[in-house]
Structure 1
Amino acid sequence: MIRFALLGALALGGPSLAAQGPLPKPLPKPAAEPAKPPAPRSSNPIKEVVRADLGPAEVGTPEALTASLYAFISGPKDQKRDIEKIRALFHPQARLMVAARHPEHGAFLRPLELEAFLSFAIPQWEKGFFERSTAVSVQKQDGVAQVWSPYDIRLAADGPAMYTGVNALQCAWDGKRWWITHLAFQSQATAALGADPGK
Structure 2
Amino acid sequence: MRDRAALAQLPKAKPEDVKSQDAILKALYDVISGPAGTPRDWQRFRSLFYPGAQLIPLVKPPGATTVGARPITPDDYVTWGQESTATHGFFEKEIARQSHAFGALVQVMSTYEARGTQDGPLIAKGVNSIQLFNDGQRWWVMNIFWIDENTAGLKVPKDLTQK
Deviations 1:19-48 (A, max 9, x none): xxxxxxxxxxxxxxxxxxxxxxx9xxx768
Aligned length: 149
Greater Rg by CA: 1
- Distance in 2 (CA, whole Å) between partners of 1:180 and 1:198 is 26
Q: Does 1:111 align with 2:95?
A: no
- Distance in 1 (CA, whole Å) between partners of 2:77 and 2:7 is 15
RMSD across aligned C-alpha pairs, in angstroms?
Answer: 2.4
Q: 1 or 2 for the larger relative contact order (CA 8 Å, sep ≥6)?
A: 2
| Gap regions ≥5 residues in structure 2 | 156-163
| Gap regions ≥5 residues in structure 1 | 1-41, 191-195
Q: Which amino acid aligns with 1:133?
A: E
- Distance in 2 (CA, whole Å) between partners of 1:198 and 1:176 is 38
Q: 1:58 to 1:164 in 2, by over 3 A?
A: same
List structure 1 segments (4+ residues) > 6 angstroms apart after TM superposition.
none
TM-score under structure 1 length normalisation: 0.67
- Distance in 1 (CA, whole Å) between partners of 2:139 and 2:10 is 18
Q: Which amino acid aligns with 1:140?
A: A
SS of the aligned residue for 2:22 comes to helix
User: CA contact under 8 A between 2:57 and 2:147: conserved in structure 1?
Assistant: yes
Choose the corresponding residue for 1:136, options 97, 101, 120: 97
Give 1:88's aligned residue: 47
Alignment of 1:12-31 (within 5 A): none
- Distance in 1 (CA, whole Å) between partners of 2:108 and 2:100 is 7
Select the structure that is richer in strand: 2
Using the TM superposition, give the Cα deviation of residue 186 of structure 1 relative to its aligned residue in structure 2, in angstroms.
Answer: 1.3
Alignment of 1:1-199 (within 5 A): 50-55=10-15, 57-105=16-64, 106-126=66-86, 127-189=88-150
How high is the sequence identity, in percent, across the aligned residues?
Answer: 29
